[in-house]
Amino acid sequence: MSKGIHLPQVGAPDPELKSSPIAEEFDEDYDAIKQDVPGNPECYFNGSPYKNDESICSGSARLRCNDGVWMQAGSCDPDNP
């Protein structure tokens, strides 16, 4: 039996709403992305704010807020964490 993942499911990014950039941990453009949001204490996803180090699920992707940038942090699929 699989464990449930208890994170907010926020759906796909809506281009009409404020959302912080999403980067992969080893993204070569990370430094450029980070310059756009230097040291923000929160991230936004579809207009909703989330605190630094808070995680959400966007579809099957787990995202963690890292100083204003969403970092991919694994899977939200309970059968394939």
First-to-last alpha carbon distance for the chain, in angstroms, is 13
9-43 as b/e: b if 16+ CB within 10 A: ebeeeeeeeebbbbbeeebeebeebbeebeebeeb
Please report whether residue 14 resides in a domain.
no
Please report whether residue 1 resides in a domain.
no
Please report whether residue 70 resides in a domain.
yes
Please report whether residue 11 resides in a domain.
no
- Residue 1's pLDDT is 39
The number of folded domains in the chain is: 1
Its sign, for the CA torsion 18, 38, 63, 23, is positive
Q: Which amino acid is at 67?
A: D
Q: Which amino acid is at 65?
A: C
Which residues span the domain enclosing 28? 22-75
pLDDT in tens, the chain (81 residues): 345 568 999 999 999 999 999 987 666 666 666 666 666 789 999 999 999 999 999 999 999 998 899 999 989 987 775
